[in-house]
Structure 1
Amino acid sequence: MALILKTTRFIETQIDAFLDILSDSATTFELAMEDYLNNRIEQFETRLAQIRENEHRADDLRVSIERFLYERTLIPENRGDVLAILENTDEVIDNIKDSLVQFSIEMPKIPECLNDLWMQTTKASSNAVEQLSFAVRSFFRDLAAVNNYIHKVYFFEREADHIGERLRREIFNLDIELSQKSQLRFFAIHIEKISDYAQVVCDRLSIYAIKRQL
Structure 2
Amino acid sequence: MFGEKESDVFTKIRKHLEAVEDTLKSFREMFEEYINGNIEKSEEILKKVEKNEGKADDLRREIELMLYAGAFIPANRGDYIRLSELVDNIADAAESAAHTLIFARPNVPEDLKDELVKLVEESLKTFEYLKLSVLALESDVDEALRLAKETEVQEESADKVEYAVLRRIFSCQNISTYAKLIWNQVVTKIGDIADRAEDASDHIMLMAVKRR
* Alpha-carbon distance in 2 for matches of 1:173, 1:28: 30
Aligned to 2:83: 85
* AA in 2 matched with 1:13: T
- Normalising by structure 1, what TM-score? 0.90
* Alpha-carbon distance in 2 for matches of 1:42, 1:180: 19
Q: 1:97 and 2:95 equivalent?
A: yes
CA displacement at 1:28 relative to structure 2: 2.2
Kindly provide the CA deviation profile for residues 32-89 of structure 1, in whole angstroms up to 9, marking residues without a partner as x: 2111101122332232211211122112112122112221322100111111101111
Which of 115, 126, 129 is the matching residue for 2:113? Answer: 115
- Normalising by structure 2, what TM-score? 0.91
Aligned to 1:209: 208
CA displacement at 1:5 relative to structure 2: 5.3
Q: 1:141 to 1:32 in 2, by over 3 A?
A: farther
Aligned to 1:180: 179
- 8 Å contact from structure 1 (residues 131, 150) kept in 2: yes
Where 2:67 maps in the other structure, the secondary structure is helix
- 8 Å contact from structure 2 (residues 28, 120) kept in 1: yes
Please give the root-mean-square deviation of Cα atoms over the aligned residues, in Å.
Answer: 1.8
* AA in 2 matched with 1:109: N
Kindly provide the CA deviation profile for residues 157-197 of structure 1, in whole angstroms up to 9, marking residues without a partner as x: 11111111111111122113333322222222121121111
Where 2:133 maps in the other structure, the secondary structure is helix
The answer for unaligned runs of 5 or more in structure 2 is none
Kindly provide the CA deviation profile for residues 189-214 of structure 1, in whole angstroms up to 9, marking residues without a partner as x: 1211211111111111111111111x
CA displacement at 1:8 relative to structure 2: 6.1
* Alpha-carbon distance in 1 for matches of 2:147, 2:20: 15
Q: 1:163 and 2:161 equivalent?
A: yes
* Alpha-carbon distance in 2 for matches of 1:94, 1:120: 20
Q: 1:198 and 2:197 equivalent?
A: yes
* AA in 1 matched with 2:180: K
CA displacement at 1:12 relative to structure 2: 3.4
Regions of 4+ moved over 4 Å: none
Equivalenced residues, count: 211
**Percent identity of the aligned residues?**
27
CA displacement at 1:6 relative to structure 2: 5.0
* Alpha-carbon distance in 1 for matches of 2:6, 2:149: 31
CA displacement at 1:26 relative to structure 2: 2.3
The answer for unaligned runs of 5 or more in structure 1 is none
* Residues 29-48 of structure 1 aligned to structure 2 (within 5 Å): 29-48=27-46
CA displacement at 1:9 relative to structure 2: 5.3
* Alpha-carbon distance in 2 for matches of 1:84, 1:8: 16
* Alpha-carbon distance in 2 for matches of 1:39, 1:68: 44
* AA in 2 matched with 1:148: R
* Alpha-carbon distance in 1 for matches of 2:54, 2:3: 25
Which of 23, 26, 29 is the matching residue for 2:24? Answer: 26
- 8 Å contact from structure 1 (residues 6, 74) kept in 2: no
Aligned to 1:133: 131
Where 2:137 maps in the other structure, the secondary structure is helix
* Alpha-carbon distance in 1 for matches of 2:86, 2:187: 23
CA displacement at 1:101 relative to structure 2: 0.9
Q: 1:104 to 1:205 in 2, by over 3 A?
A: same
